[in-house]
Structure formats: structure tokens, C-alpha cells
Amino acid sequence: GIQVEQSPPDLILQEGANSTLRCNFSDSVNNLQWFHQNPWGQLINLFYIPSGTKQNGRLSATTVATERYSLLYISSSQTTDSGVYFCAVNGGATNKLIFGTGTLLAVQP
Amino acid sequence: KAGVTQTPRYLIKTRGQQVTLSCSPISGHRSVSWYQQTPGQGLQFLFEYFSETQRNKGNFPGRFSGRQFSNSRSEMNVSTLELGDSALYLCASSFSGDEQFFGPGTRLTVL
């Protein structure tokens, strides 16, 4: 099955700094999503981005499907950006999402 | 539009008992998927239901089962609970297989 790797596993930033999170996947995919897991456990949708580039405020994402990776950019980070960021893909005819192991981001004031 | 809702939010059970979790998808969404999240195994797919039919199943024992009703609401059941079933159970809905939206989860503790 498809393997999903995220890097870095942990990241500590000062408020105001920028960061880039990476997601590599081992095969072609139909769907790629980025999520932020809040402290209560809910997965918050950030981007649905099987290919191309999207922006939403201070966040943007780029997926290069032919090279099997996606990047999530966080600019001018805030303490509320802290938490775990997950990349998830599906590549078959099913709706099954395969998740990476996440990047734990801590933004310090 | 209301989001995905899950009940109950927290649950404590003892080994050997069974539990039923409920998920109501976003209005108009017909696909409901269930995932288990544990510190050791991460987020793993349990099963997906679409129009009351199980469309895909993950690698979990038969103690884990589910169903979907005609209004797209879904339930999952875990029988003969084990300590290792303690986890956050997340439900996701989508229209047909595109972007998935997750509920707040049910945190199950098995004692």
C-alpha cells in the first residue's frame, strides 16, 4: 500500500517565524489533504490539494503529484498554530485515507 | 451547514463489555468512514460506508463492526472490549469520495 512520510517529526518555532512541513508519498494519489489536530483531538481541514497550489491566509500548500510530495507553509506563526499537522492521501478506488505520522509543531511566544 | 457530530464524546468501559459509537455526517454526505487513533499506531482506517453498504474495511478484527442507516448516520460497535481498544475514534464524512470532514471524535477508555 501507499506509504506516507512526514518531516520534520517535531518543530519548535518562535512566534512570527515561518515554517515548511513536508509530506512524501510512495505512489500516485487521487486525494491529498492537510489537517491540523486541535488539543481536543478534532482534525481540522486545512487543504484538499491533490495537485497544485492553494493559499488560505497565512497558510499555503503545494502538491507536486508527479514527484510525490506536498508542502505546507505556515507564515508569521502564532501560538494558536501549535498542534499536530497531518498529511493524508488516498490512491485507490476507495475513500480510505492513509495518514502520515504527523509533525508536532510548538510555537513559543 | 452543521458539521460532523459524534456521540458520546467520552466513554469509559471495562474489558469484555461492548460499546456503540454514533456519527451523523454533514447533510447531503453519503460516505461515512471511521478511523482509530492511538499513540502507538497513529491514525488507522477502520471501515467506510456508502449508501448503507460497507465499501471498504481496514485490517481490524471482527470485533469491530459498523452499519449505516438510510439517513446516512452511522454506528460502529466494538464487542468484547480489550485494553488495547482504548483510543480516539474519529468519524469522517464526504459527499462521494472527495474531501473528507472529521467529527470531534469519541475518546474511549477501557479499564
Q: For B9-42, what is each residue's pLDDT tens digit?
A: 999 999 999 999 999 999 999 999 999 999 999 9
What pLDDT sits at residue A92? 73
Determine, for residues A42 and B103 on separate chains, whether the beta-carbon distance falls below 8 Å: yes
Q: Is-cis flag, bond preceding B39, omega within 30?
A: no
Question: Looking at residues B63-71, what average pLDDT do you find?
Answer: 97
pLDDT bucket at B2, cuts 50 / 70 / 90: confident
What is each CA distance from A43 to A84, B3, B103, B106, B107, in whole angstroms? 9, 12, 7, 13, 14
Interval B74-85 mean pLDDT: 98
Q: Are strands B64-68 and B53-57 parallel, antiparallel or unpaired?
A: unpaired
3-state class percentages of chain A: helix first, strand second, coil last, to nearest 5: 5, 55, 40
In contact, B76 and B68? CB cutoff 8 Å: no
Pick from A23, A30, A43, A49 the residue to mutate for testing the B interface (most B CBs within 10 Å).
A43
User: What is the band of A49 on the pLDDT scale with cuts at 50, 70, 90?
Assistant: very high
Q: What's the whole-number mean pLDDT along residues B79-104?
A: 94
CB contact under 8 A, B50 and A97: no
pLDDT at A5 over 90: yes
Query: All 3 cell numbers of residue A68?
Result: 510525490
- Short-list A5, A17, A9, A1, CA closest to A70: A5
Q: Give B95's DSSP letter.
A: S
Q: And the C-alpha cell for A25?
A: 508519498
Question: What is the four-CA torsion angle of B31, B36, B37, B43, rounded to 10 degrees?
Answer: -60
Query: Can you tell me whether residue B84 is helix, strand or coil?
Result: helix
C-alpha cell at position A77? 506563526
Please report the sign of the dihedral spanned by the C-alpha atoms of residue B22, residue B28, residue B32, residue B38: negative
Percent of chain B surpassing pLDDT 90:
92
Q: Does A97 touch chain B (CB under 8 A)?
A: yes
Using only C-alpha atoms, chain A has a radius of gyration, in whole angstroms, of 13
Q: What is the DSSP letter of B1?
A: -
In Å, how far is B45's CA from the nearest CA of chain A? 7
> With contacts defined as CB-CB under 8 Å, which chain B residues touch A45?
99, 101-102
State chain B's mean pLDDT as an integer: 95
Confidence at A1, pLDDT banded by 50, 70, 90: confident
Q: How far apart are CA B91 and CA A5, in angstroms?
A: 23
Q: Which residues of B touch A (CB under 8 A)?
A: 31, 33, 35, 37, 42-45, 48, 50, 55-56, 58, 88, 90, 92, 94, 97-105, 107
What is the pLDDT of chain A when averaged over all its residues?
Answer: 95
Rounded to a whole number, what is the distance in Å from the CA of B68 to chain A's nearest CA? 16
Give me the percent of chain A exceeding a pLDDT of 70. 99
What are the cell numbers at B85?
481498544
